Structure 1
Amino acid sequence: MVLTYTQEHVYRHPWDRVTAAAWRKFTDPEASSALSHVVDVHTLSRRFDPDAGRLHTTRSITVRSPPLPFPLRALIGGAPAVFCHCIETTVADAPRRHMEVVARNAGLRRLIEVEERSIYEPHPLEPDRWTMFRQETRIRCKPFSALASIAEKVEQRCAERFLQNSAKGRDFVERICGYLEAEASSSSIAAAQ
């Protein structure tokens, strides 16, 4: 069984500010307490295609999972919490004002597969002022014929956790947009004087 969740959010900030904030989400000074499930982030590769105006980036993200039900703990060695490594690929297309971020778990794939796809584009009604954010999360527990009910509970728990963490991430992008807006305003005032 595959669970799919979609979310949409409108940032009342222009695309360039929102995408700049999204890049800074994990480095925000207040992120460590609210995004405590994120343990480590490393940039594995970064390549800019000057002809197309696209930035391609791959990052490794290590997250702490919520406590697992006892039967699943036994399958993976008994630890109540598990660290999972994820790979995030991003394509930021500045000329088209389109950024797509896809994160997939690299660890625990024999138990569960998670894919989170996020798209940032100018809002159709206010393209110069607002940004449309769309996110789709797909979660699939590997088949456990004897443990089907546990697999469903794990899928549901994972989905709840992803939805909570997604909301926290959006809040941080909003906060960083506010910082960037304040910086831009300060620079404009200083330049005018």
Structure 2
Amino acid sequence: MVSFFSQSFYYDHPWTLVHMGVWRKYPNPQSAHVVSVDVLDRTVDPSTGIVRTERVIGCTQKAPRWVVKILGGTTDAYVREVSHLDPRTGETHVTSVNLSLSQYLTVLEHISYKPCPTMPTQRTLFTQTAEIQARIAGWRPLQERFELWSLETFNKNAQKGREGFEHVLSLLRESRRQGRLEQ
């Protein structure tokens, strides 16, 4: 069984500001669970100009006690994130997958940030999808419950993530307005 999540909306900020925000996303008031962000690799393709960045994000998770007890997990969780910034198209694509408890649950997330086709200097299209799959052999009811809980948690966290990112973007816009941030 695989559960799916999808959403799209516009940030009322230009893509240039949104892209800066991607790298300053943490910390923010809605993402207190993120405790570290480490860049593992960053390269620029000389022929395309595409910037590829690989990061590991450390979090504290709030898994239900029954999950931690049965699966033997901890509250420490890690996510691998790979992003591609294409300076020619003005698009950023981010793919992330959980590293922790991945033998029981995989959350594969795809995010894209694109300049709005009709108002590229004012708005940015955000698209997010996720595939969530639980794998608990021989425990179908537990697997379904775990997957449903994970989908519900992802949905709630996606809303918090949007609010937190809006906070970061507002701070960046104010810094830019005051001349403390380069265009």
Fold agreement, TM-score > 0.5: yes
- Residue correspondence of structure 1 range 7-156 to structure 2 within 5 A: 7-27=7-27, 31=28, 33-68=29-64, 70=66, 72-77=67-72, 81-145=74-138, 147-156=139-148
CA contact (8 A) 1:25 1:169 kept: no
CA contact (8 A) 2:60 2:76 kept: yes
Unaligned runs of 5+ in 1: 189-193
Decide which structure has the larger Cα Rg and report it. Answer: 1
Q: What residue in structure 1 maps to residue 3 of structure 2?
A: 3
What value does the CA root-mean-square deviation take over the aligned residues?
Answer: 2.0
Q: Which is richer in helix? A: 1
Moved more, 179-188 or 162-171: 179-188
Change (3 A) 1:174 1:60: same
Q: What residue in structure 1 maps to residue 157 of structure 2?
A: 165
Q: TM-score, normalised by structure 1?
A: 0.84
SS, match of residue 26 in structure 2 = helix
How far the C-alpha of 1:143 sits from its partner, in A, is 4.4
Q: Deviations over 1:140-180 (max 9, x none)?
A: 001433x2111111111111221222222222222222222
Q: TM-score, normalised by structure 2?
A: 0.88
CA contact (8 A) 1:68 1:154 kept: no
- The percentage of aligned residue pairs carrying the same residue is 27
